[in-house]
A and B are shown apart, each in its own frame.
Chain A
Amino acid sequence: MSGLRLVLKAPLEARLDCTGLLPAALSGLSEAAAERRVLPYGTSRAALGDLFTVTRGASAALVISGDARLDFVGAGLGAGEILVDGPIGAGGGWGMTGGRLVVRGAAGDDLAAGLAGGRIEVSGAAGARLGGPLPGARTGMRDGLVKVGGGTGPLAGVRQRGGLILIAGDAGERAAEGMIAGTLAVAGGIGPRAGRGMRRGSLLLGRAPDLVPDGFASCGAADFVMLLLIARRVPELAAAFGGGLSGRAERLVGDRLSGGEGEILVLS
């Protein structure tokens, strides 16, 4: 059965909480029934039909026209696909466990917070705390893949517990802060104070940081078979660094100030 297509009638005037707007929840609903679904909108609520024109799409995916005030798009997604034509607001892909969220535009803060599976692709930039924890949680994303075509705000990969984040552009300050495990790859530049409090996990950098972060010590350069393996098993990661990985990198270990043994690999 083909999915629904939600086209905004006009730019949103307040923030729309899209929690629950998922392919599984809408499957089997007629266009009219979908239009009657009510979502939190600003300080009140609005029916989907008041904001969107709902039609039956050509593909199985749920297609939504983008707006920077669309919050929590794909939150809790477990299966299926959501395509957003344009930007989204905060909390995109919160707590996703599977499926695919594709954003043809930028994403706001807290993208992929608490991600437990599935993949998120954002063609533009992303805001702060990419892949970080859900409110009250001790750890950030623990599985899945997030791909950001642009740069990110501060605290990308904060307390990341697993999974893979690919950032094609620059990452803001304090990336990988408190990282526990997983991989954060940044093809562009990295902001100051990266890896602070890092316990384990890998921060892959396409270029060396301006300053070696406090608490990190260089183990020198070496050839890493693991990088050759990643290049084959995760071609997207290799592509983010220009299509190939030589396998050679400088390894910085830290944050030793907090007894951590995470690593920053600066690729050659």
Chain B
Amino acid sequence: MSGAPDLVLNGVCVRDGFAEAFPMAATRLLVTADTARWALTAARSMTGFATSVIGCGCEAAIERELAPAETPDGRPGVAVLVFAMSLKDLKKVVPLRVGQSVLTCPTTACYAGIESGPSIPLGRALRYFGDGHQVSKRLAGKRIWRIPVMEGEFVCDETTGAVPAAVGGGNFLILARSRAAALAGAEAAVEAMAQVHGAVMPFPGGVVRSGSKVGSKYPGLIASTNGAYCPTLRAVTPTALPPEAESVLEIVVDGLSEAAVAASMRAGIAAVCDLGAEAGILAVDAGNYGGTLGPFHFHLHAIMGGAP
């Protein structure tokens, strides 16, 4: 907190805080299937248990659904973003997830969603499942792999491109009078943020109820509950909550660029503020570590003033 006057939008106090984010490596995958249902099934499976690099090895979520006209094979599809702490990690986790969740899913195919940057293996790693019967084909400058499976063939690009300078950990907190009000605010935010391309919210439904601080009283734990924002601890720990706050929810954003994260945060905070104080929203704040952990600082006032 710098002590600058708070920004008040529709009765909601936007605090003079900032979200602290860090560099990640990321890629986009396009998953298609005979029907939107199965494309979504594969995408959900692939992005499951990918909320935080702390425990999952990567962060991933569905970016948006794709109409048949937007996909490489003319079938319904889903764009997925996957983030890891390094390109090395990304190269490890992407083939693993595609192999377990897309290759296995009926009628699906998987294509590169980014054409530039370092190569992340898809078919290059998965082809061996074909046990020598896999077929490669290079058309229009791109190599694809056809891997025979019991259902027919699994088709995927050989590689996908990557963004080595993506941004992870953009965030904001919704402080509300009640749990229901916090949830309504979070849902509105996620809905608005889903319209921003190039950024995803990797936590369940896009929302985190268990925001964390760095470290713990227990040795070996690198993160623990963020006591300053826990309403039930306000009498026993230093608190950042106003007396009337009963519940806090956090939205975490990962993006392919700093601008994408800023745009996503702006859309989310605006949606929360649109609900206003009458809906029980008290304030919007952001999580940071004092500015020492990540090089990307998203100042809430600057974001809501239109300057990322």
Q: Show the binding face of A for B, using Cβ within 8 Å.
A: 143, 162-164, 181-183, 200, 202, 222-226, 228-234, 237, 261, 263
Enumerate chain B residues within 8 angstroms of A263, measured Cβ to Cβ: 135
Task: Give the complex CA separation of A226 and B73 in angstroms.
Answer: 8
In the complex, besides A228-B75, A234-B139, 6 extra interface pairs with C-beta distance below 8 angstroms are A202-B135, A202-B137, A223-B152, A224-B152, A226-B155, A229-B73
- CA gap between A261 and B140 in the complex, in Å: 23
With A222-B152, A229-B109 known as contacts, the answer to whether A183 contacts B73 (CB < 8 A) is no
Residue B74 lies at the interface, judged by CB distance under 8 Å to chain A: yes
Whether the pair B137, A232 counts as a contact (CB closer than 8 A) is no
Whether A232 touches B72, Cβ cut-off 8 Å, given contacts A164-B139, A263-B135, is: yes
B133 proximity list for chain A (CB < 8 A): 261
Within 8 A of A (CB), among B90-111: 107, 109
B31: CB under 8 A from chain A?
no
Residue in B closest to A162 when the chains form the complex, CB atoms: B138
* Chain B residues within 8 Å of chain A by Cβ, number: 20
Q: Is the CB of B74 within 8 A of A228?
A: yes
In the complex, whether B144 has a CB less than 8 A from a CB of chain A is: yes
Q: Is B152 in contact with A232, judged by CB distance below 8 angstroms?
A: no
Q: Is the CB of A225 within 8 A of B138?
A: no
Give the docked Cα–Cα distance between A222 and B72 (Å): 20
Out of B135, B136, B138, B155, which one reaches A229, CB within 8 Å?
B155
B109 touches A225 (CB 8 A): yes
Interface membership of B142, Cβ < 8 A: yes
Closest approach, in angstroms, between the C-beta of A198 and any C-beta of chain B?
Answer: 13
Q: Does A232 lie within 8 Å of B74, measured CB to CB?
A: yes
Chain B residues contacting A233 (CB-CB under 8 Å) are 72, 139-140, 142
Chain B 23-42 residues near chain A, CB threshold 8 A:
32
- Given A200-B135, A233-B139, do A224 and B73 touch, yes or no (CB 8 Å)? no
Q: Which residues of B contact A200 (CB under 8 A)?
A: 135
